[in-house]
Amino acid sequence: MKLTTQTDYALRTLMFLATRSDRANVADVAQLFGISVHHVAKVVHSLAKYGYVRSIRGVGGGIELARQPQEIHLGEVVERFEGSTHLLDCIGTEDICAIQSFCKLKGVLAEAERVQRAYLDSVTLADVAPTSRQLQLL
């Protein structure tokens, strides 16, 4: 599996916010990772829509996690941003291949997907977030 840039930015934004005790802003995230403010803003909008981030407007506003880092599972975030991705089309769709009814490869790849998702579901944002000190050293 290769993640899209949007998923990558979403995970990085969540990791950054997990290190903060105060609110941040989109420009802080963009500057740290050297990415476009526009791209981060788009990702933050999606993160807020999915309930991972709160966006507060006005003086003293900014962005912050809406849930505790240990409550955010990477598998869920990846699925929200990537959708249900399959290694081959036949895993999620019937009747697209002549040998699909007896193909053993389909089962092997479906199991690989299941194992990968189970592993990502077992890892939380708290498990992968750097410390605020590590970010300060950058």
pLDDT in tens, 114-136: 999 999 999 999 999 998 888 77
Q: How confident is the model at residue 34 (pLDDT cuts 50, 70, 90)?
A: very high
Q: What average pLDDT does the chain have?
A: 91
Count of residues in the chain: 138
* pLDDT score at 54: 95
* pLDDT score at 9: 97
Cα separation, 9 vs 134, in Å, equals: 19
Cα-to-chain-centroid distance, residue 78: 4
Helices (H), 1-138: 5-18, 26-33, 37-49, 74-82, 89-92, 104-122, 125-128, 132-136
In eight-state DSSP terms, residue 78 is: H
Residue 75 tokens read as 């598998």
* pLDDT score at 62: 93
